[in-house]
Every structure is written in structure tokens, then in C-alpha cells.
Amino acid sequence: MTARPRWGALVLSVALVALGTLLLLNNFQVLDWGVWRQVVRLWPVVFVLGGAWLFLRHARGG
């Protein structure tokens, strides 16, 4: 019997890795602080992805 993937944990892990990567690139001065204006501008995407995830989970009967 295989375990079902825990999508919430996967999404959180990917988000933390992405945030850590942005901060690391900022520390190495590969990115400047201006990139945060773009990141903050796209925050509603979190709600869109969360809603899509809940819809798909419900549609599959999970």
C-alpha cells in the first residue's frame, strides 16, 4: 500500500526553498532588493493555487 502524497507539505517545502534561494541570491548580490516588489505584487497567486488545489482535491474525492 502506497502512501498518498502530502501536497500541503510539498507546497510549503517548495515555497521555503524558493524563498531561501531568493534570499541567498540577494546576499550574494546577484539580485537586488527590487525583486521583492515583483514578489509582493504576485502574492494573490498563493490564493489561486490554494483554491485550485482544494478544487482538485475535492473533485478527486479526497
C-alpha cell at 52: 485550485
- Which pLDDT does position 5 carry in this prediction? 64
Res 17: pLDDT = 85
- Calpha distance 56→61 (Å, rounded): 9
pTM: 0.53
What's residue 62's pLDDT?
A: 59
Side-chain half-sphere CA neighbours of 47 within 13 A: 3
3-state secondary structure of 26: helix
Per-residue pLDDT of the chain (62 residues; tens, 9 = 90+): 455 667 777 777 888 888 888 888 888 888 887 777 877 787 788 788 878 878 888 887 75
Question: What is the rounded CA–CA span in Å between residue 22 and residue 33?
Answer: 10
